[in-house]
Structure 1
Amino acid sequence: MSLVVYLAALVFGMTSVLLFRRPRTAVRDPLTLSTCAAIVLGALVFVCAAPATLGTVNALTGVPNFGAPLTYGMLCAYSCAVLVLLINWRGGPRPVVRRAVIRSMAAYGLLVAAIVVLFLLADADTERLTDLDTYYAGTPFMREMILLYLLGHSAAMLVMCAVCVKWSREVGGLLRVGLRLILLGALLDLVGFQLTKYTAVAARWAGHDLDFLSTTVAPPMASLAALVCSVGFALPRLLPSVLAHWRGLDDYRRLGPLWSLVKSVSTAPGQPSAWWQLPRARLQWREVSIHDALLTLAPYFDHRVRERARDAALGAGRSPHEARLAAEAAMLTDAARRAAAHEEPPEAAGSYRLHATEVPGPSGLVELSQALHREPGRAAAPGGANPSSPTGTLTEPEEPHVA
């Protein structure tokens, strides 16, 4: 069972690593900080609750069952961290948020202190690594300690359920999805972990043996509930960034035809020197390098090539925007050929602003790159064939191919 619990703790903890990937920014953001604190404390609860950890802690301290108040105290700290996270997530005036956080921390701080005191007063000399809750269910002070930690955790989960239900009616999108996942995790915790614990303890009071609920059913249900909650907390914060990087990777690849055409004249690097750079960083470097190359090629723009290509595209039934892109692709191909051959700038050269430089972001460059890929004469440049000849023989676009 220890291996399963440790794996759950590892997956749980990795979520906080993803959220805390920018430490300097994260420590100044109460929401990120409280999210990471809640997830880390949840992972520590699993680590402390593993039988292997309990046995090691008991052996190191020389106190039988010392791991019990340690685990229960950590669980109370996790419950408090979840409430603090919800308070910060909900937001509001800073003084109100601060007071709510302080009240929650004070309440659970007293709860942890009470658990420690009750353990010190109890007679619990027999080490129990997996069934302590039921074994000591009728022992004075231990009984109260067990009930106290369960009630403290139940209160936090019930509050979390109420907040998620109320708030999910007011928001939409990923935030609502995250809240529903948190609600699902809290319900799994309430039913799968806490209700089974309460049932097993109450059965002991009644003289029955339902220990399997506490030792076999409750631990995996607690792991599942915590993982679902962590996904709910992390999803609204991580998914937008993941999607942005995915779109960045797609744009980076679609810029391939344009970069292949102009990279020989660009003085900026086409990609970061570090191989581990994320897609958005790579896309930014490619954009900068392409814009640098377009500035270098600007003196070679031949307006006659552009006008012929535009007229041919309009005559083929293309929209004005598509005709402009096809014309600019032909003109850029001709300019790249002239630059590669070290020719003199054409007589019809002059200042011209490409559509790709008029729109923010990479969308304009991507359109130009795809127009280049569809242009039949693009394959001839910049090797030496005159690209002006295909401008009068524009055909229907071929199927796009992502570079």
Structure 2
Amino acid sequence: MSLVVYLAAVVFGLSCLVLFRRPRSRLTLSTCVAILLGSLVFVCSAPLTLATVNRLTGVPNFGAPLTYCMMSAYSCSLLVLLINWRGGSRARVRRRVLRSVAAYTLLGVALVVLFALADTRTERLTDLDTYYADTPYMRVMIVLYLAGHSAATLAMCAVCVKWGREVTGLLRTGLRLILAGNLLDVVGFQLTKYTALGARWTGHDLDFLSTSVAPPMASLAALTCASGFVLPRLLPAAGAQWRGLDLHRRLGPLWRLVRFASTAPEQPYSWWRLPRERLRWREMSIHDALLALAPYFDDGVRERAHGAVLSAGGTDRLARPAGEAAMLADAARRAAAGEEPPAVPSTHRLRATEVSGTGELVELARALDDVTAAGADRNGTVRAAHG
């Protein structure tokens, strides 16, 4: 059980790495604090952690108030997150945050005092809530920590429902996931705890709800919430990397033709380099190679290819990249063979070197691929005719 709880804590906590991009943003900071405190709740509630804390302090069940205070801090962080979401003047936000912190600090103090007054000499690592449900002071302590957590999660649910109607796209999806996670917490963790406690108070035994159902539901709820926090930021970044991978691949024909002429430092291959980084390096190297091949450009080759496309019924939009691709292929052939540049230097500038962005390079690569394919077809036809 401890391994599952620790795994949930690690996954929940790692979502901060995706969110922590702008450390000066109050919203980002409050989100990360909430996630980290939620992770610490899982760590503190694991039976192995509870046993270790009890042994180190020499106080049976000392891990209980530690976990409950950590959960209260997590609940407070949810309210602070809501306050920062709602926004407003800095003074108003600060005032609301201080009130929330003060309220949950008093709750934490009350939990510690009630634990000190209670008789908890029997160590319970997995069923403390139900075992001490009828014990003076402890039952009040248990209800208080659950009530504090319920108040925060229900407030979060209300805000997610309200804002879910006002936003669209990934933000709405993220809010729905956060709402689903909090509802799982309310129904799967809190309601089962309340039910198990109520059964104890009425002389029945439904302890399995508290010991076997509530913990995994709490883990699932936390992971669902984490995905809601992360999704609006992770998916756009993942989409950008996927587009970078596609553009990197589409620049392949152009890169294979001109790579010999590039003087840019070669990028060492590393499996961890992201596609966008590889794309930037390939763009830089291609531009460097195009500059090196510019003295070999022949306007005659470009104009003939340009005219051939127009004669075949093509538009100037198609003829321009075809002409430039033919001229570039001829220049690369001359440079690779060690030939002299044309006697009359070209004054034409490739559109790919005049316009920023990857789009023109991709268009040139596509046209170059067509020119290469057409040349291969012509060569094959000639060989067949002489065969």
Show the counterpart of 2:304: 308
Tell which deviates more after alignment, 98-107 or 298-307: 98-107
Q: Which residue of 2 aligns with 1:8?
A: 8
1:56 is displaced (CA, Å) by 1.2
CA drift at 1:343: 2.4
Give how far 1:33 is off.
2.3
Deviations along 1:296-315, one digit per CA (max 9) or x if unpaired, are: 11222111111111121223
2:385 maps to none
Between the aligned partners of 1:373 and 1:85, the Cα distance in structure 2 is 53
- Cα distance between partner residues in 1 of 2:88 and 2:239: 28
Listed as ranges, the matches of 1:238-387 within 5 Å are 238-271=234-267, 276-376=272-372
Aligned to 1:398: none
Change (3 A) 1:145 1:36: same
Inter-partner Cα distance in structure 2 for 1:357 and 1:86? 49
- 1:193 matched to which residue of 2? 189
> 1:378 deviation in Å?
8.1
Q: Is the CA contact 2:79–2:100 (under 8 Å) kept in the aligned structure 1? A: yes
Displacement over 4 Å in runs of 4+: 272-275, 377-380
Structure-2 change in CA distance of 1:308 and 1:86 (3 Å): farther
The alpha carbon displacement at 1:86 in A equals 3.1
Kindly state the Cα deviation for residue 144 of structure 1 after the two structures are TM-superposed.
Answer: 1.0
**1:150 aligned partner:** 146
Where do 1:25-40 residues align within 5 Å? 26-40=22-36
| 8 Å CA contact 2:111, 2:145 repeated in 1 | yes
Q: Superposition pairs for residues 30-69 of structure 1, below 5 Å?
A: 30-69=26-65
Question: Which consecutive unaligned segments of at least 5 residues does structure 2 have?
Answer: 383-387
Task: Quote how far apart the aligned CAs of 1:246 are.
Answer: 1.3
C-alpha distance after superposition, 1:258-291 (max 9, x if no partner): 1111111111135357653221111111111111
Query: For each residue in 1:148-188, what CA deviation from the matched residue of structure 2 results, as whole angstroms up to 9, or x when unmatched?
Result: 11011101111100111111111111111000000000111
- 1:399 is matched with none
Q: What code does the residue aligned with 2:143 have?
A: L
User: What is the alpha-carbon distance in structure 2 between the residues aligned to residue 335 and residue 346 of structure 1?
Assistant: 9
Is the Cα contact below 8 Å between 1:269 and 1:285 reproduced in 2? no
Structure 2 equivalent of residue 401 of structure 1: none
CA deviation vs aligned residue, 1:120-154 (integer Å, no higher than 9, x gap): 11111111111111111111111111011101110
Give the direction of change, closer, same or farther, for the CA distance of 1:362–1:139 in structure 2 (3 Å limit).
same
1:385 maps to what in 2?
none
| Stretch of structure 1 that moved more, 105-114 or 139-148 | 105-114
> Per-residue CA shift, 1:11-63, capped at 9, x if unaligned?
2122223334xxxx543232332222222211111111111111111111110
The equivalent residue for 1:105 is 101
Give the 3-state SS of the residue equivalent to 1:263 in structure 2. Answer: helix
- Which AA in structure 1 matches 2:47? P
CA distance in 2, matches of 1:162, 1:201: 26
Q: Note if contact 2:18-2:233 (Cα within 8 Å) is conserved in structure 1.
A: no
Contact 1:185 1:228 in 2 (8 A): yes
Instruction: Return the letter of the residue paired with 2:333.
Output: R
Which whole-Å CA distance do the structure 1 matches of 2:246 and 2:87 have between them?
A: 35
Correspondences of 1:164-183 after superposition (within 5 Å): 164-183=160-179
Whole-Å Cα distance in 1 between the matches of residues 172 and 346 of structure 2? 54
CA distance in 2, matches of 1:119, 1:322: 79
Q: In the alignment, residue 342 of structure 1 is paired with which amino acid?
A: G
Change (3 A) 1:319 1:97: farther
In the alignment, residue 234 of structure 1 is paired with which amino acid? V
1-side partners of 2:240 and 2:63: how far apart?
Answer: 44
Alignment RMSD, CA only? 2.1
Does the CA contact (< 8 Å) of 2:50 and 2:125 recur in 1?
yes
Partner of 1:264, secondary structure, is: helix
Which of the residues 98, 106, 114 maps onto 1:118? 114
Is the deviation greater in 39-48 or in 101-110?
101-110
Aligned to 1:229: 225
| SS of residue matched to 1:128 | coil
Equivalent position amino acid for 1:12 in 2:
F
Q: Give the TM-score taking structure 1 as reference length.
A: 0.89
Query: Are the equivalent residues in 2 in contact too, given 1:298–1:351 (CA < 8 A)?
Result: no
How many residue pairs get aligned? The number is: 379
Matched, 1:128 2:128: no
